[in-house]
Amino acid sequence: MQLLKKAIRATTAHPALRGILARGFAKANAYFDAVSNEQLLDIYLKYKNYTCIPPETFVANLDVIGRYASVPGCVVECGVWRGGMSAAMADLLGPGRTYHLFDSFEGLPEATAIDGQRAVDYSANDTNNNCRADEHFATEAMGQSQAKDYALHKGWFADTLKDFRPAEPIAILRLDGDWYSSTAECLNALYPLVAEGGLIVIDDYFPWPGCSRAVHDYLSANGSADRIQTVDTMLAFFEKREVRACQPIDPQRQV
Ligand SMILES: C[S@@+](CC[C@H](N)C(=O)[O-])C[C@H]1O[C@@H](n2cnc3c(N)ncnc32)[C@H](O)[C@@H]1O
């Protein structure tokens, strides 16, 4: 109950996070009792001003990511906004890895029909400032984390991922770019670099249909047997089962 009170205090202090209250105390209570622990919630509270991810989803991310802590390799997040989740992953996984943060730091590109009407409207109305955040926030968040080695890759994924060749395979790949094109660009460039047994977390699988379409298209185009797992309807993730040659999909696919 103490944990719940702490989470709710944090939520009400952050306008973007009020959804948790709308979904009801009962559900939050059950969730925190079942899977949270003091350490994960404390990490959330440390970075709550550097993330737009609601507390229960944030904690669920860390819980899943922690299960893959034994996979060696670097950590990559695409779509970092103010860097809170990358910083949290660094606190969870420690200073012995390289953390790569990719973002335009200019917000989202325009949504298209494949992302659904709600996304097109969101984009057109510049809702939430189209997720624009200055890069200094991400630098600040990473500076407070345990990361000793991290890089900010500023620019559109299509440009910054083109020549990205990390020194080690990717152990944890977290995709949070919302739209079909962004998700497809990341999967095309980065899935082949993920270690066998590595983790791919898809933040927008449930809220944005373009994102789920890109994931399905990519796995299907590659005849993949990777199993999509979910935590409630908060997040989706899958483990890379086998290393094989991968075909890219078209990020500009029309509906
Ligand atoms: C929802 S926010 C990410 C939230 C963040 N992970 C957190 O912890 O709060 C989505 C981010 O993706 C970035 N983004 C989306 N598509 C992109 C693209 N094609 N190239 C570069 N950045 C992109 C946006 O700039 C924005 O910062």
User: What are the tens digits of pLDDT across the range 70-98?
Assistant: 999 999 999 999 999 999 999 999 999 99
Name the pairing type of β-strands 229-231 and 149-154.
unpaired
The CA 41 to ligand 1 mean position distance, Å, reads: 23
Q: Using CA atoms, how far apart are residues 99 and 87, in angstroms rounded to an integer? A: 9
Q: How confident is the model at residue 5 (pLDDT cuts 50, 70, 90)?
A: very low
Is residue 193 pLDDT above 70, yes or no? Answer: yes
Protein residue closest via CA to atom 15 of ligand 1: 177
The predicted model gives 48-57 an average pLDDT of: 96
Is residue 17 pLDDT above 80, yes or no? Answer: no
Q: Which residue stretches of 36-133 are H helix?
A: 38-47, 55-66, 84-93, 117-124
Kindly state if the Cβ of 189 falls inside 6 Å of ligand 1. no
| Element holding 210 (H helix, E strand) | helix 209-221
The predicted model gives 221-246 an average pLDDT of: 94
**What is the model's pLDDT at position 18?**
40
The predicted model gives 202-219 an average pLDDT of: 98
Start-to-end CA span in the chain (Å): 46
Q: How confident is the model at residue 59 (pLDDT cuts 50, 70, 90)?
A: very high
- The string over 196-229, giving b where at least 16 C-beta atoms fall within 10 Å of a residue's C-beta and e elsewhere, is ebbbbbbbbbbebbbbbbbbebbbeebebebeee
Q: How confident is the model at residue 6 (pLDDT cuts 50, 70, 90)?
A: low
Q: Using CA atoms, how far apart are residues 30 and 225, in angstroms rounded to an integer? A: 33
pLDDT averaged over the chain? 89
Q: Using CA atoms, how far apart are residues 228 and 230, in angstroms rounded to an integer? A: 7
- Which of the two residues, 185 and 17, has the higher pLDDT score? 185
The CA 64 to ligand 1 mean position distance, Å, reads: 21
Q: Is the pTM of this model over 0.75?
A: yes
Kindly state if the Cβ of 75 falls inside 6 Å of ligand 1. no
Handedness of CA 104, 148, 59, 233 (dihedral sign): positive
Handedness of CA 60, 249, 222, 151 (dihedral sign): negative
The domains of the chain, with CATH numbers, are 55-239 (3.40.50.150)
Q: Which of 59, 103, 174 to mutate to test the pocket of ligand 1 (most atoms within 8 A of CB)?
A: 103
Kindly state if the Cβ of 85 falls inside 6 Å of ligand 1. yes
**What is the model's pLDDT at position 238?**
98
